[in-house]
Amino acid sequence: MKKILLLLFVLSICHSLSAQTVNKDSAWILNNYYKIERSIPMRDGVKLFTTFYIPKDSSQKHPFMMLRTPYSCAPYGENKFKNVWSRNTREYFLQKYIVVIQDVRGRYMSEGQFEDIRPFIENKKGKETDEASDTYDAIDWMVKNIPFNNGKVGISGISYPGFYSTIGALANHPALKAVSPQAPVTNWFLGDDVHHKGAFFVMDDFGFDYSFGRPRPKPTTEDAPEFNFHTPDNYDFFMKEGTLKNLTKHYMGDSMTFWKLEMDHPNYDDFWKAHTITYHLSNVKPAMLITGGLFDAEDCFGTWSTYKSIEKQSPATLNKICVGPWFHGGWARSDGSHLGNVQFGKGVSEYYYKNVEMPFFNYYLKGEGKDDLAEATIFISGENQWHQFTEWPPKNIEQRIIYLNENSSLRFTRPITSSGFEEYVSDPARPVPYTEDVHLDRTREYMTDDQRFASRRPDVLVYKTEILTEDMTLTGPVIADLQVSISTTDADFVVKIIDVFPDNFEYNDSLLNSKSKIRNSKFSYPMGGYQMLVRGEIMRGKFRNSFEKPEAFIPNQLAEVKFELPDVAHTFQKGHRLMIQIQSSWFPLADRNPQQFLDIYHCDEKDFVKSIIRIYHDAKHATSVILPVLKK
């Protein structure tokens, strides 16, 4: 996870370079900008290390674009510059923004004590601080001390810096005019990075916490060491470790503060709520642009949740959203033309910068252009087109219920049989992998991966429609409503929404870039019959009625497990099929459930047992999925 996050936003995707060895693009930066480093005092006396890239042009005043990050504003030294010549950075330099990067409190060269997703203090008193006050104090210093600024500040950031963007919007400094949280960390229990619906995302979090969570006793320019897995196979590593308790004992101990907190807070208690920023998004002052990816493996939830929370709690705020067919931060470091085997077409990221991000900031920070950005600018995959909506989810959607039926079929009609179910054995000793490949780092491509490997497993249930006779577009959240029984006292439930391509499917050459053409040659991956994951989500069963107060299942007694999957924007085209898969493990993306009602974070290997899972689809107990179908 850290490897992905470190490469994101304004001055990322790059290597350090010195003033003595530059290419022509870097020479442009050196000829037109100079760099200074300052330690800015906060109200409690702590100083935050801050880098400024300042235009040499003193004939006009310039706005600020600010990034606050826990991932370092390196390279350190006023004679060392970032290689900023990439899609998401060059526009700010070409348009003569003052670009600011700040190490947040307690990270790298900034003083103070770091706290993960540091809680917002609603009514601060005296010298009390949080990330909003640190943002305020930094802005106040900037506008008073940096020459030739126009008194207007924008903030943006992807992933963890997206969290700092969101909380920065609550700073309420009069100079802060526009903010863009992008794929923002939002809620680490319900949907981002650390947990999904209470299920622990062990693969991402373990590697991240091992490095990121190490104590930093004093300011440093050095990165913490990353974990050496000593294997290229993450499935094998986490299976051999066995339990979260073993990971803690063997590698984490008590020194990794946040890992220990995660282990000690198994439910959605006051600790997690205090570390959730969306509860505080009322009376947001700056204009907001929330950006994210449809296929973001880390913070898909955070994008939708942040936008919707502002809409609900701060209705007077100018609040826009843009979501494209990107992986985590894909708009900033890819052309957006494809993800894995799935193609979206040319110019996707270019469209975003030309029509969304730069017009947004230029209007509010430079007074250029018009305030005519649509409420929601959404790329609909499948048909591969950008759309503008006046609200999100769109007004003209119909909540259509599709039911599991006999013979593994999906229909928009309720089952009529008096009894019916399918069952499978969920065995923690043989968990369903989240992807087919053997690899170490969690892939970003799994979000659109072919699911045929899972369809062939006996512990994965598969249901599909007849061949569609017309296009069907989904725009909004999907609701899974499962009628289940299990032979034990707990289990997980994974629901996957899948687009099944026709058996003779091939991409048109006009859709492919040169690299894609190589991958899609006659020797490449077979796309006929491809089962594209459109959206998947896991639900820890014991939280089915409450994330605060988990409940055991009564063995072999029917229960409802109902939960929301993050929003989708996808067209199932005529000639395709809609498929739903249901399973009870997604390993090692999510940790294994022992399938007993107990503290998973401290249980032993002997506690893991098999469970017989039944999914019902009869007239009285009809398992269904509620689809947000866009009406024509």
Helix-then-strand count for the chain, H and E: 16, 27
- How many residues are there in the chain? 632
Q: What is the pLDDT of residue 500?
A: 98
pLDDT > 70? residue 5: no
Identify the residue with better confidence: 90 or 619. Answer: 619
- Does some domain include residue 67? yes
pLDDT digit string (tens) for 159-206?
999 999 999 999 999 999 999 999 999 999 999 999 999 999 999 999
| 61, 181, 268, 396, 429 from 65: Cα distances, Å | 13, 13, 35, 37, 50
Q: What percent of the chain has pLDDT over 90?
A: 90
Q: What are the residue ranges of helices labelled H in 314-393?
A: 330-333, 348-352, 358-366
Q: What are phi and psi of 204, to 5 degrees?
A: -65, -45
pLDDT at 305 over 60: yes
Tell me the Ramachandran region of residue 21: left when phi exceeds 0, alpha when psi lies from -120 to 50, beta otherwise.
beta
**What average pLDDT does this structure show over 461-485?**
98
Residue 328 lies in a domain: no
- Structural domain contains residue 92: yes
Using the predicted structure, report yes or no on whether residue 600 has a pLDDT greater than 60: yes
pLDDT surpassing 50 at residue 21: no
Note whether residue 303 is domain-resident.
no
Task: Tell me, yes or no, whether 292 lies in a domain.
Answer: no
Question: 26 pLDDT exceeds 60?
Answer: yes
CB atoms within 10 A of CB 279: 14
The pLDDT confidence band at residue 220, using thresholds 50, 70 and 90, is: very high
* Residue 355 lies inside a defined structural domain of this protein: no
Do residues 400 and 627 lie in contact, with contact meaning Cβ atoms separated by under 8 Å? yes
Q: What is the mean pLDDT of the chain?
A: 93
Strands 492-500 and 577-583: antiparallel
Q: What is the CATH number of the domain that holds 14?
A: 3.40.50.1820
Where residue 222 falls among pLDDT bands split at 50, 70, 90? very high
Residues 93 and 35: their CA atoms lie apart, in Å, by 13
Residue 515: what residue type? K
In eight-state DSSP terms, residue 554 is: P
What pLDDT, on a 0 to 100 scale, did the predictor assign at position 559? Answer: 98
Handedness of CA 144, 149, 153, 155 (dihedral sign): negative
Secondary structure (3-state) at 627 = strand
* Closest to 323 (Cα-Cα) out of 305, 343, 309: 305
Beta-bridge partner residues of 200: 195
Contacts of 378 (CB under 8 A, 6+ apart): 321, 322, 323, 386, 387, 388, 389, 392, 475, 569
Specify the DSSP class assigned to residue 617.
B
What is the domain range of residue 159?
A: 2-187+276-280
Number of domains in the chain: 2
CATH number at residue 429: 2.60.120.260
Q: For 390-511, where are the E strands, in sequence order?
A: 397-405, 409-411, 421-426, 461-464, 472-486, 492-500
Residue spans of beta strands (DSSP E) within 164-249: 176-182, 195-196, 199-200
Q: How many CB atoms lie within 10 A of CB 414?
A: 14
Residues 410 and 465: beta-carbon distance below 8 Å: yes
Integer Cα distance of 295 and 324 in angstroms: 8
**Would you say residue 179 lies in a domain?**
yes
Strand partners, 511: none
For the cut 90, the answer to whether the pLDDT of residue 4 exceeds it is no
Of the three residues 265, 280, 295, the one that is the final residue of a domain is 280
Burial class (CB in 10 A: 0-12, 13-18, 19+), 479: middle
Helix (H, G, I), strand (E, B) or coil at 461: strand
The pLDDT value given to residue 24: 60
Strands (E), 432-558: 461-464, 472-486, 492-500, 531-540
Alpha-carbon distance 240 to 39, whole Å? Answer: 46
The CA angle 58-60-66, to the nearest 5 degrees, is 90
460/615 Cα distance (integer angstroms): 11
Tell which of 254, 280, 306 closes a domain: 280
Q: Give which of 423, 455, 456, 449 is closest to 435, Cα–Cα.
A: 449
Place 82 in a pLDDT band, splitting at 50, 70 and 90: confident
Q: Indicate the range of 23-27, 551-555, 617-621 predicted with least confidence.
A: 23-27
Q: Which of 160, 161, 181, 185 lies closest to 169 in space, CA to CA?
A: 181
Q: Check if the beta carbon of residue 365 is closer than 8 Å to that of residue 154.
A: yes
Q: Which residue has the higher pLDDT, 512 or 210?
A: 210
The whole-angstrom separation of Cα 204 and Cα 223 is 18
Last residue of a domain, one of 258, 280, 302: 280
Confidence of residue 512 (pLDDT cuts 50, 70, 90): low
- Residue 106 domain-assigned (yes or no): yes
What is residue 125's predicted lDDT score, i.e. its pLDDT? 94
Q: Which residue has the higher pLDDT, 477 or 6?
A: 477
Which contacts of 383-392 are long-range, i.e. CB under 8 A and separated by 24 or more positions?
383/471, 383/473, 383/571, 383/573, 384/325, 384/343, 384/344, 384/345, 384/511, 386/324, 386/351, 387/569, 389/475, 392/307, 392/321, 392/475, 392/476, 392/567
Q: How far is CA 104 from the centre of its chain?
A: 21
Beta strands 149-158; 62-69: pairing state? parallel
The Cα–Cα gap between 553 and 486 comes to 7
What string of DSSP letters covers 295-336? Answer: T-TTTHHHHHHHHHHHHHH-TTS-EEEEEES-STTHHHHS--
Answer whether residue 18 shows pLDDT above 80: no
Assess contact for 462 and 404: CB atoms under 8 A: no
Q: Which of 390, 73, 82 has the alpha carbon at shortest distance from 223?
A: 73
Region of 116 (left: φ > 0; alpha: ψ -120 to 50; beta: rest) is beta
